[in-house]
């Protein structure tokens, strides 16, 4: 960011424009720097306003004539799961889940009518931060790459690890994660997992949790379409598929997870 | 005491060399039948049911027909053995399991037991060991079912079971009034994962959600991040860390608070958001703290979302993540407050660790119908809530690795709310919360300490024929002294500390050492003496004009309350010249206006209003109080056409009149007095028992029979007399009908507190707001 301001200063952006439209948390943080170093006034736009408008705009323009919005059909069936376009002509109401370093969840009722429902601090930053600490990786891409090669079931304790199979009393399938990182309580198991496994478990933990909070919000707000956007999902097919799967499975098909090509 | 348990034992391996003080931990094992065991990740909870032989004092009327009764005692007192049921729960570290099983095996006399109910994750692991050691078949029960059964049981039977946690107040634990209807509620069990269960009735509950981010995540991920292996140590680390070094806050993103979103700058925007770099070291403490916040907030958020969806406002938290750890109770409480905007309260349970064992036990005991009975915590045999802040309390260190106990006595009769309580869900019996009020706490603890030698002496003296009375009295003294010291350290050990709980604990300890009724002979004598004066008191009352008589009756009620059996000089006077003593007592009373004085309104009510339909009177002391104070008052009410329900304690407490004593006394009065006689015959005067053995009165735990009668007879007046029942408790109780609370304050500290002097009079006549 300082480099960008520096560039703006060198290229004399200010002679062309005196104001720059900006959004995001950094717009506030770097406003002073823009003014003093770049001689630019920032026209700070509300981050969420921008987000909502952006989502709706992108979809209205479309993606090479195709719908910008898509979903996964048969997300609970690995064989038959496929990405299909979704027509967002009547988008409202929708739940917008923006996964950046943290997560914001908005309920959007019309072009101008939306509210922030809740948020969680367990977001992309948590995945990346924990991966750095656990694996020593240094980029988000690296963390995702490791995750794609790992096996989270070595790290997590599954329902079947505790009950030997499904927990029928509560209708819990044996493959469900009972305790994220639960196997890591034991020293032997800590010594036997790879960095890839840990990265994968971190990704699964964060993603499942976002899915679970989004699902609860959708139920509370009585909305059945959930659009997931944000940096975290960039090149992150594992999370998108998992979100689609988790939402479908736990809502018994009542909720649909949607994604955007150009989020 | 439990502290002596297995201290100094080794870790890791099963240590057989520990010595158990058997009688003090696995009590009544020889009478035990029906076992249940809950084996968790680190702690084992054993439950069993036993029968306990109690000594009880019984009274029996002599046949006085045709005898000169002047020189004989009024009735006969005998000490008998009574068998009652008790539930024992013992909690110990898994390391001791083999030793404990051996011990149980050696002491298990009852061979009828064939099965042991087992629950908890460890039930699988230890199944063979249990079957081999005990020769019992292990019968596994579902973990959550047991948990919920246990939860319902403690919510129903243990007063002050539930508390909210408040770190920054004088008292960390804020105990809640037991709500008459415990359902529906949300139980959030935080074990290695999180289960969120909605409980709608005794048998109806539903898993409505869960999360894999739980105690196992804190432990597992924490161990990876900090190389610290133990859960407790991780919590210790967390309590010392600064999460802001690891977490990215809103202000780190926005440079301050985010106004448009209404988010405070100190909120966590991204957990571990600052650790997104490979070249910086973070302290173990800071990472542990950040992890703790992350997990607690997440659980709190999910719990709130579920509570909102199901429209529930009570959330109980349990599981090893919570279990008595102030650090986690604090972060969970914070999170629930934040996410529910204060609409939902995070609640915790005093006996949370026992829920699984209690539930498993109940599953196996269904033919005994434990849920049909009321149960009471036996303070003498229960360890109480221990260990708050790990960094504060050295007690915690000695405590962990030892034995913790809970004992519940089966009460003979079910207890229910007084139907006349205005709002049972907000009724709090006790006037002063000593957990809250440090000054009052110090005073009363000292007061009870100072009185202890005297009580022990009286107990020993009450059984002159017993060879070991001295020895038992000393054991009693030691036990109660230890309880008082525990309460000085941990005032919240048995729920809210009150004068009532101190008195009840003393009674439990006396019972423990077979002093069922140290005052029985004193009461016997006093009743005999007072009866002799009854007729002359009645005659003098009858000679008065109506208005004068009303005042004399009230003074009589109060006078009976003046003297306590602690005062030797007074008892001498009473014995030699009872009539004089009664007059003397009246003269000691404060002149009107009394400290609390609504006598004029009461008089007005009697004069102007219609007679009451039915009065419920809670009696206090034996002797002068009941016979010369209460009975003339009862007689006047009866004469006005008011029916009277006279309620006395089921069991003995101090010199309070018991139900069985009241039967004899009433019979004798009826023989002298035609009004009482015909009222008894026509069932206009009814004697009932309260279901209690306390010198105080909890209107939310009264005998069911009493409650039924109160409703049937359309009771419209409640009279509560005495310090214990009308001042220490119920001073602020709000009823749906008229009430009289009267007492003489016989304690100068308390008088001072209430703004008066010793022997000040409380006469509180209350009419419910329309």
Tell me the shortest Cα–Cα distance from B114 to chain A, in angstroms.
26
Query: Among the listed ranges A21-25, A212-216, B101-105, B480-484, which one has the minimum average pLDDT value?
Result: A21-25
For residue B1, is pLDDT > 50?
no
Tell me the shortest Cα–Cα distance from B172 to chain A, in angstroms.
28
Asked if the bond preceding B235 is cis, omega within 30° of 0, the reply is no
Residues of B in contact with A190 (CB under 8 A): 220, 223-224
pLDDT of residue A26: 56
pLDDT of residue B14: 35
Is A31 part of the annotated catalytic residue set?
no
pLDDT of residue B435: 86
Place of tokens 């735990």: B701
How far is the C-alpha of B645 from the C-alpha of B617, rounded, in Å?
6
Question: What is the CB neighbour count within 10 angstroms for residue B723?
Answer: 22
pLDDT of residue A6: 64
If one compares B413 and A1, the residue with the highest pLDDT of the two is B413
Q: CB distance A179–B305 less than 8 Å?
A: no
pLDDT of residue B720: 97
Q: Chain B within 8 Å of A28 (Cβ-Cβ)?
A: yes
For residue B64, is pLDDT > 60?
no
For residue B322, is pLDDT > 50?
yes
Residues of A in contact with B216 (CB under 8 A): 157, 178-182, 185
Q: CB distance B216–A120 less than 8 Å?
A: no
Q: CB distance B268–A121 less than 8 Å?
A: yes
Hey, of B147, B148, B186, B193, which one would you mutate to test binding to chain A, going by the most A CBs within 10 A of its CB? Answer: B193
Q: What sign does the CA torsion over B708, B711, B713, B718 have? A: positive
Contacts of B151 (CB under 8 A, 6+ apart): B187, B199, B316, B318, B349, B355, B359
Q: CB distance B220–A169 less than 8 Å?
A: no
pLDDT of residue B274: 94
Question: What average pLDDT does the segment A176-188 reach?
Answer: 95
- pLDDT-based confidence at A84, cuts 50/70/90? confident
pLDDT tens digits for B99-127? 888 888 887 766 677 889 999 878 888 88
DSSP per residue, A80-118 = T-EEEE---SS--SEEEEEESSSEEEEEE-SSS-EEEEE
- pLDDT-based confidence at A11, cuts 50/70/90? low
Question: What average pLDDT does the segment B668-690 reach?
Answer: 97
pLDDT tens digits for B739-755? 999 999 888 888 898 89
Q: Chain B within 8 Å of A157 (Cβ-Cβ)?
A: yes
The most confident of A177-191, B246-260, B485-499, by mean pLDDT: A177-191
Q: Chain B within 8 Å of A194 (Cβ-Cβ)?
A: no
pLDDT of residue B3: 34
Q: Chain B within 8 Å of A25 (Cβ-Cβ)?
A: yes
Choice among A10, A31, A41, A47 that is catalytic: A47
The alpha-helical segments, DSSP class H, found in B622-729 are 624, 631-639, 659-672, 674-681, 704-712
Going through chain A in order, the beta strands assigned E by DSSP cover 19-22, 41-44, 69-73, 82-85, 94-99, 103-108, 114-120, 157-158, 177-179, 225-229, 256-260
Nearest to B212 among A170, A178, A213 (CB): A178
How far is the C-alpha of B701 from the C-alpha of B374, rounded, in Å?
9
The most confident of A42-56, B235-249, B253-267, B385-399, by mean pLDDT: B235-249
Joined together, the tokens standing for residue A39 give 């001689």
pLDDT of residue A30: 56
Residues of B in contact with A142 (CB under 8 A): none
- In this prediction the ipTM stands at 0.88
pLDDT of residue B16: 38
Q: CB distance A184–B212 less than 8 Å?
A: no
pLDDT tens digits for A27-37? 555 566 656 55
Nearest to B220 among A46, A128, A185 (CB): A185
The percentage of chain B sitting over the pLDDT mark of 90, rounded to a whole number, equals: 55
pLDDT of residue B400: 41
For residue B504, is pLDDT > 90?
yes
pLDDT tens digits for B687-724? 999 999 999 999 999 999 999 999 999 999 999 999 99
The percentage of chain A sitting over the pLDDT mark of 90, rounded to a whole number, equals: 56
Q: CB distance B273–A118 less than 8 Å?
A: no
Residues of A in contact with B269 (CB under 8 A): 25, 101-102, 121, 125
Joined together, the tokens standing for residue B599 give 């006598």
pLDDT tens digits for B131-179? 998 888 999 998 889 999 999 999 988 888 999 998 766 677 888 887 7
B115 and B433 Cβ atoms separated by less than 8 Å: no
Question: What average pLDDT does the segment A40-48 reach?
Answer: 56
Q: CB distance A29–B224 less than 8 Å?
A: no
State the average pLDDT for chain B: 86
Nearest to A181 among B221, B270, B298 (CB): B221
Query: Among the listed ranges B80-84, B86-90, B494-498, B502-506, which one has the minimum average pLDDT value?
Result: B80-84
Rg over CA atoms, chain B: 29
B26 and B107 Cβ atoms separated by less than 8 Å: yes
Count residue pairs from A and B with Cβ separation < 8 A: 189
Q: CB distance B273–A102 less than 8 Å?
A: yes
CA distance readout (Å), B371 to A5, B410, B411: 73, 10, 12
CA A44 to chain centre: 24
pLDDT of residue B318: 92
Q: CB distance B294–A121 less than 8 Å?
A: yes
> Which chain A residue shows the shortest CA-CA distance from B335?
A120
pLDDT tens digits for B33-60? 788 999 987 788 999 888 887 778 888 8
Question: What average pLDDT does the segment B450-473 reach?
Answer: 92
Joined together, the tokens standing for residue B424 give 């049972």
pLDDT of residue B567: 44
How far is the C-alpha of B700 from the C-alpha of B415, rounded, in Å?
8
Residues present in chain A in total: 263
Question: What average pLDDT does the segment B309-337 reach?
Answer: 92
Tell me the shortest Cα–Cα distance from A182 to chain B, in angstroms.
4
pLDDT of residue B65: 54
> Which chain B residue shows the shortest CA-CA distance from A102?
B270
For residue B247, is pLDDT > 90?
yes
Nearest to A182 among B220, B254, B308 (CB): B220
Query: Among the listed ranges B10-19, B532-541, B687-696, which one has the minimum average pLDDT value?
Result: B10-19
Q: CB distance A182–B229 less than 8 Å?
A: no
Tell me the shortest Cα–Cα distance from A251 to chain B, in angstroms.
11
Q: CB distance B220–A162 less than 8 Å?
A: no
For residue B15, is pLDDT > 50?
no
**pTM of this structure:** 0.85
For residue B311, is pLDDT > 50?
yes
pLDDT of residue B389: 38
The most confident of B71-75, B105-109, B279-283, B497-501, by mean pLDDT: B497-501
């Amino acid at each position: 960011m300082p480099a960008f301001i520096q560039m703006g200063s060198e290229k004399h952006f200010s002679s062309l424009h005196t104001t720059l439209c900006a959004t995001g948390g950094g717009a506030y943080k770097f406003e002073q720097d823009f003014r003093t170093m770049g001689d630019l006034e920032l026209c700070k736009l509300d981050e969420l306003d921008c987000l909502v408008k952006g989502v709706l705009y992108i979809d209205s323009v479309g993606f090479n004539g195709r719908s910008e919005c898509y979903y996964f059909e048969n997300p609970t069936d690995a064989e038959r799961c496929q990405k299909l376009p979704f027509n967002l002509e009547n988008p409202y109401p929708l739940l917008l889940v923006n996964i950046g370093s943290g997560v914001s969840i908005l309920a959007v009722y019309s072009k101008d009518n939306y509210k922030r429902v809740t948020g969680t601090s367990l977001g992309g930053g948590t995945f990346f931060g924990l991966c750095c600490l656990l694996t020593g990786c240094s980029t988000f891409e690296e963390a995702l790459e490791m995750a794609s090669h790992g096996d989270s079931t070595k790290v997590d304790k599954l329902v079947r690890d505790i009950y030997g199979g499904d927990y029928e009393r509560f209708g819990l399938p044996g493959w469900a994660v009972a305790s994220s990182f639960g196997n890591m309580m034991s020293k032997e198991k800590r010594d036997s997992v790879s960095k890839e496994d840990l990265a994968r478990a971190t990704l699964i933990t964060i993603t499942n949790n976002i899915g679970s909070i989004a699902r609860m919000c959708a139920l509370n707000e009585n909305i059945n379409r959930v659009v997931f956007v944000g940096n975290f999902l960039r090149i992150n097919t594992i999370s998108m598929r998992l979100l689609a799967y988790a939402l479908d499975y736990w809502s018994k098909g009542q909720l649909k997870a949607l994604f955007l090509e150009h989020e | 005491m439990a502290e002596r348990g297995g201290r100094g034992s080794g870790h890791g391996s099963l240590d057989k060399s520990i010595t158990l003080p058997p009688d003090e931990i696995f009590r009544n094992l020889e009478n035990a039948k029906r076992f249940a065991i809950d084996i968790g990740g680190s702690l084992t909870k054993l439950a069993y049911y036993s029968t306990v032989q109690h000594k009880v004092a019984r009274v029996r009327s002599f046949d006085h027909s045709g005898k000169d009764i002047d020189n004989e005692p009024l009735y006969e007192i005998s000490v008998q053995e009574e068998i009652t049921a008790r539930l024992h729960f013992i909690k110990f570290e898994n390391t001791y399991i083999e030793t404990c099983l051996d011990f149980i095996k050696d002491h298990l006399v009852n061979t009828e037991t064939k099965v042991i109910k087992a629950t908890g994750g460890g039930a699988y692991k230890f199944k063979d060991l249990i079957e081999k050691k005990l020769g019992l078949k292990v019968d596994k029960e579902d973990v959550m079912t047991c948990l919920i059964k246990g939860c319902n049981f403690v919510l129903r039977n243990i007063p002050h079971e539930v508390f909210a946690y408040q770190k920054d107040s004088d008292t960390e634990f804020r105990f809640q009034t037991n709500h008459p209807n415990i359902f529906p509620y949300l139980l959030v069990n935080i074990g290695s994962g999180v289960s969120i269960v909605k409980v709608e009735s005794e048998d109806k509950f539903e898993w409505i959600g869960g999360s894999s981010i739980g105690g196992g995540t804190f432990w597992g991920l924490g161990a990876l991040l900090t190389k610290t292996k133990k859960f407790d140590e991780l919590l210790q680390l967390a309590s010392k860390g600064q999460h802001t070094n690891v977490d990215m806050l809103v202000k780190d993103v926005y440079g301050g608070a985010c106004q448009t979103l209404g988010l405070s700058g100190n909120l966590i925007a991204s957990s571990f958001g600052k650790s997104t770099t490979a070249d910086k070291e973070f302290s173990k403490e800071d990472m542990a703290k950040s992890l703790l916040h992350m997990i607690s907030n997440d659980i709190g958020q999910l719990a709130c979302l579920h509570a909102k969806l199901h429209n529930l406002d009570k959330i109980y938290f349990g599981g090893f993540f919570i279990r008595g750890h102030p650090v986690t109770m604090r972060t969970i409480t914070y999170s629930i407050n934040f996410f529910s905007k204060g609409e939902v309260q995070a609640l915790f349970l005093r006996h949370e660790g026992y829920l699984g064992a209690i539930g498993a036990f109940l599953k196996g005991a269904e033919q005994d119908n434990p849920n049909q009975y009321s149960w009471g915590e036996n303070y003498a045999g229960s360890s109480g809530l221990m260990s708050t802040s790990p960094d504060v309390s050295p007690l915690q260190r000695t405590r962990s690795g030892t034995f913790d106990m809970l004992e519940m006595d089966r009460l003979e009769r079910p207890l229910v709310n007084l139907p006349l309580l205005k709002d049972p869900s907000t009724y709090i019996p006790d006037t002063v919360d000593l957990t809250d009020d440090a000054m009052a706490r110090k005073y009363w603890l000292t007061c009870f300490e100072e009185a202890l030698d005297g009580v022990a002496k009286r107990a020993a003296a009450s059984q002159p024929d017993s060879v070991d009375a001295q020895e038992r009295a000393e054991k009693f003294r030691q036990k109660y002294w230890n309880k008082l010291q525990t309460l000085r350290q941990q005032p919240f050990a048995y729920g809210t500390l009150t004068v009532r709980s101190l008195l009840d604990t003393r009674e439990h300890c006396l019972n423990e050492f077979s002093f069922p009724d140290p005052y029985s002979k004193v009461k016997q004598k006093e009743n005999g003496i007072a009866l002799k004066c009854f007729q002359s008191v009645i005659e003098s009352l009858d000679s008065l004009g109506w208005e004068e008589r009303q005042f004399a009756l009230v003074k009589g009620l109060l006078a009976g309350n003046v003297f306590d059996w602690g005062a030797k000089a007074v008892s001498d006077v009473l014995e030699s010249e009872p009539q004089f003593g009664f007059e003397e007592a009246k003269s000691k009373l404060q002149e009107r206006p009394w400290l609390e004085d609504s006598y004029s309104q009461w008089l007005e009510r009697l004069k102007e209003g219609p007679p009451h339909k039915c009065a419920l009177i809670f009696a206090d002391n034996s002797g002068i109080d009941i016979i010369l104070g209460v009975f003339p008052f009862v007689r006047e009410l009866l004469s006005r056409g008011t029916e009277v329900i006279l309620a006395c304690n089921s069991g003995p407490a101090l010199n309070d009149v018991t139900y069985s004593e009241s039967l004899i006394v009433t019979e004798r009065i009826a023989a002298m007095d035609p009004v009482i006689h015909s009222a008894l015959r026509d069932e206009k005067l009814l004697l009932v028992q309260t279901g209690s053995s306390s010198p105080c009165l909890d209107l939310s735990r009264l005998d069911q029979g009493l409650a039924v009668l109160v409703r049937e007879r359309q009771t419209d007046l409640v009279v509560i007399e005495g310090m214990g029942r009308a001042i220490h408790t119920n001073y602020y109780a709000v009823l749906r009908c008229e009430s009289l609370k009267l007492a003489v304050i016989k304690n100068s500290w308390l008088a001072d507190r209430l703004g008066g002097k010793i022997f000040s009079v409380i006469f509180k006549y209350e009419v419910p707001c329309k």
